[in-house]
């Protein structure tokens, strides 16, 4: 992928994590580089023989590959973007959202910066671009984009927007239609960190859980015997163990930890809806 | 032939070094990153670029990627005179690299080979790791999505 020209931006100006942090003391570490193979070993796999009876072993490169797989799994499970990426999508026009000026939820999140909010026709004509001054960035951490055009009340007389081509016809839909499937085009970067290559520590922990569960699950299969006995010249020795279930407890613990972290991270970076009858 | 770069993490000279799976550096430190060129299709046999007149001149470009074009850093690597499979990349304290994949481009005469090494660089930030920092808010859009040739997947 070619990188983008980022000589423009609209952000809330706070950290992605801790969410909305304006300044931190540095006394507590909360973000770190991507999980390394050494960290995966020291945090999750201590005491685990990373070898198989046939001579295969988990090398450091193998662990790096498992971390890479786990990072991609984490993106899907958490519905967040791990590294900051530029996205473009079209969101529907909904009358009820428009009544709150404009309230949009991006498909991906959390949003770091927004680069365009516009009405764009199917043949890619830019009909009307919402001025950046109107865009409220405070809820970007939950993928919410709001437009609050109240600047005039504070002394700004006009804001430059752009209406082109058949723009007026597009703008009239707000009068008659309740829903238009692809109306607002947004361009934005989403990611868990403003600094590329860093992630929240809890996300690294989550990724480590995913990788460790998979690795333990593979290794456990090599413990094929539940019991063994040996007899020679009337002397017998026997031993028994859990066999392939050797790491079941550890896998269960890690699975619970993974699920707990998943709920917490989703709570930080997404919206929760409560439905009920009142 | 599929070339690949193996990180060298402990460099003394061509007879004394250790290979690893990634470089770990601290942002702001002066560094020289070393790597060895290997051929994945020959069980990791080392590959010496620029051998024979048909492969000359040889040059290597290392790209440290970013989503922001202004933060992408491309540095020409230098081939070791005593072992042509080993290359080095000098990093100045002013060059801010981001951890993750690293892209390599080897040019030999008119032949160009590209490859990416997954998670080759780990960058620690020793100054303040209490948060991930902030992005500028210039509050201006001067970006036209239909004319920006830099965007693509």
Six token digits for residue A127: 């009909």
The pLDDT of residue A227 = 82
State the count of interchain CB pairs (< 8 A) between A and B. Answer: 165
Q: What residue in B sits closest to A192 (Cα-Cα)?
A: B132
Q: Which residues of A touch B22 (CB under 8 A)?
A: 36, 64
The pLDDT of residue B147 = 42
Give the closest of B127, B150, B153 to A5, CB-based: B150
Distance between A98 CA and the closest CA of chain B, angstroms: 22
Inter-chain CB proximity B151 and A4 less than 8 Å: yes
The pLDDT of residue A130 = 84
Q: Is A169 helix (H, G, I), strand (E, B) or coil?
A: helix
In a domain, B12, yes or no: yes
Distance between A23 CA and the closest CA of chain B, angstroms: 8
In a domain, B139, yes or no: no
Closest by CA to A6, choosing from A80, A113, A110, is A113
In a domain, B135, yes or no: no
Inter-chain CB proximity B138 and A4 less than 8 Å: no
Domain count across chain B: 1
In a domain, B19, yes or no: yes
Mean pLDDT, rounded, for A215-238:
87
What's the ipTM? 0.86
Q: What angle do CA A205, A247, A254 make, to 5 degrees?
A: 25
In a domain, B149, yes or no: no
In a domain, B23, yes or no: yes
Residue A165 β-bridge partners: none
Higher-pLDDT residue of A242, B103: B103
Highest mean pLDDT pick, A160-169, B10-19, B64-73, B119-128: B10-19
Average pLDDT over chain A reads: 86
The CATH number covering residue B71 comes to 2.60.40
Query: A224: pLDDT confidence band, cut at 50, 70 and 90?
Result: confident
Q: Which domain holds residue B114?
A: 3-124
The pLDDT of residue B116 = 97
Residue A145 near residue A187 (C-beta atoms within 8 A): no
Closest by CA to A250, choosing from A11, A48, A31, is A48
């Amino acid at each position: 992928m070619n990188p983008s020209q980022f000589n423009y931006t609209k952000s809330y100006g706070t950290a992605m994590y801790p969410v909305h942090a304006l300044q931190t003391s540095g006394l507590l570490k909360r973000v770190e580089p991507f999980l390394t193979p050494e960290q995966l070993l020291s945090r999750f796999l201590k005491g685990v023989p990373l070898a198989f009876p046939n001579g295969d072993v988990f090398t450091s490169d193998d662990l790096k590959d498992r971390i890479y797989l786990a990072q991609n799994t984490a993106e899907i499970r958490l519905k967040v973007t791990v590294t900051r990426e530029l996205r473009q999508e079209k969101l529907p026009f909904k009358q009820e959202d428009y009544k709150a000026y404009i309230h949009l939820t991006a498909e991906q999140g959390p949003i770091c910066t927004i680069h365009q909010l516009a009405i764009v026709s199917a043949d890619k004509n830019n009909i009307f671009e919402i001025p950046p001054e109107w865009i409220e960035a405070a809820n970007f951490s939950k993928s919410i984009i709001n437009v609050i055009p109240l600047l005039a009340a504070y002394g700004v007389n006009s804001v430059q927007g752009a209406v082109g081509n058949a723009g007026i016809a597009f703008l009239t839909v707000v009068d008659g239609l309740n829903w238009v499937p692809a109306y607002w085009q947004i361009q934005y970067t989403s990611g868990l960190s403003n600094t590329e290559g860093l992630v929240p520590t809890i996300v690294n922990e989550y990724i480590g859980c995913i990788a460790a569960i998979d690795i333990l699950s593979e290794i456990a299969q090599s413990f094929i015997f539940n019991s063994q006995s040996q007899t020679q010249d009337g002397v017998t020795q026997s031993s028994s163990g859990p066999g392939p279930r050797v790491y079941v407890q550890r896998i269960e613990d890690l699975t619970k930890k993974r699920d707990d972290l998943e709920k917490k991270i989703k709570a930080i970076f997404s919206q929760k809806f409560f439905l009920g009858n009142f | 032939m599929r070339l690949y770069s193996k990180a060298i993490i402990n460099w003394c000279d061509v007879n004394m070094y250790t290979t690893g799976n990634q470089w770990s550096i601290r942002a702001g430190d002066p560094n020289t990153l070393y790597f060895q060129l290997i051929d994945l299709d020959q069980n990791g046999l080392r590959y010496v670029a620029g051998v024979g007149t048909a492969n000359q001149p040889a040059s290597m470009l290392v790209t440290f990627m970013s989503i922001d074009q202004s933060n992408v850093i491309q540095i020409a690597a230098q081939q070791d005179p005593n072992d042509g499979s080993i290359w080095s990349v000098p990093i100045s304290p002013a060059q801010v690299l981001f951890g993750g994949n690293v892209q390599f481009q080897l040019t030999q005469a008119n032949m160009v080979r590209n490859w990416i090494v997954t998670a080759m660089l780990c960058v620690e930030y020793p100054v303040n790791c209490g948060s991930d920092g902030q992005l500028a808010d210039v509050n201006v859009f001067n970006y036209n999505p239909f004319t920006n040739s830099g965007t693509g997947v």
